Amino acid sequence: MDRRMFLGAATATAMAASLPSLPSFAETKPTKLKPMAVGLLVSPHDAPEATIKRVHDMGFSNCFLSLDGYIGKFTSDAVKQIGDLLAKYDVVATTVEVVGPSPLVWDFQQGPATIGLVPPKYRAARIDALKQVSDFAKQLGIGHVQTHCGFIPEDPADALYHPAVDAIRTVAQHCQGNGQHFLMETGQETPTAMSRALRDVNMPNLGVGLDTANVILYGKANPVDAVDILGPHVRSVHAKDGKWPTDPSKLGEEVMIGKGLVDFKTVFTKLHKLGYTGAITIERETSGPQQVEDVKNEKMYLERVLREVMG
């Protein structure tokens, strides 16, 4: 998943098969982490040790694992390797995610037909991949599984809507059996469409992974307003910044945190008042030395804002 490359175990108490209804956040918060601890999204499959070590060396206590590179290779050896590295470098993995398998086209032209659980052509393979990563995460004690569900139709009478709801429910049920929450990442759909899907799937372990920039990049909402609609269901946060799309064929521009349109102080204040205590995960969609420098600056920026919010 090239858009998420960054240089390539939390121990959690098993939850009961019937999870408490949202918005109770305490059950899956790793006990090692401070509330709203800043973390980093990483893709470890190319260089697992270097990647997890980098998380530690940059001063992060936690990470979000983007694991598309492991699809079809979620072996017991991979479990041991990742678990040992998380323990070695004292890093908590808060959430796992897969969005594949391919094709995935992150734009307005081909995106609706290629992203998530909505497109019928790729739905079965995506469900299978999410079940794989859920089983993998269970062995590592990771309580959150996340993905982009796709361009969920705004019209509930659309022929694609109810099959997508059924697919989301299928994955949520599998995650529930593994004592996990399944999170829909914001982006391709309006907050209202996501709220409707939450209601219609009707699973107590279904929640939201709020990406603060995606709602802007896809032209769907302001993240402050999105929290007003989805806030009680938010169980993970991607801290990312961006600007509105000005070309109707292309997504908006992702920029370094603090350079875009996201009002992080207001977003975090609203989430804090709702009782959110999970991680704030930096996702910087660049690569190389500039990405490292950007992430260092973003970490300082976010920690300053969070101090103001939390006192």
Output the average pLDDT for the chain. Answer: 91
Task: Report the percent of the chain where pLDDT is more than 90.
Answer: 87
Q: Which residues pair with 93 in a beta bridge?
A: 63
> What is the tens place of the pLDDT at every residue in 137-196?
999 999 999 999 999 999 999 999 999 999 999 999 999 999 999 999 999 999 999 999
Q: What is the CA radius of gyration of the chain?
A: 18
d(CA 274, CA 266): 12
Region 268-286: mean pLDDT is 96
Region 262-280: mean pLDDT is 98
CB 141 within 8 A of CB 9: yes
Map residue 40 onto helix, strand or coil: strand
For residue 101, whether the previous peptide bond is cis, meaning omega lies within 30 degrees of 0, is: yes
User: Domain 2-310 carries which CATH code?
Assistant: 3.20.20.150
Strands 241-242 and 254-255: antiparallel
Task: Give this prediction's pTM.
Answer: 0.91
Instruction: Give residue limits of the domains in the chain.
Output: 2-310
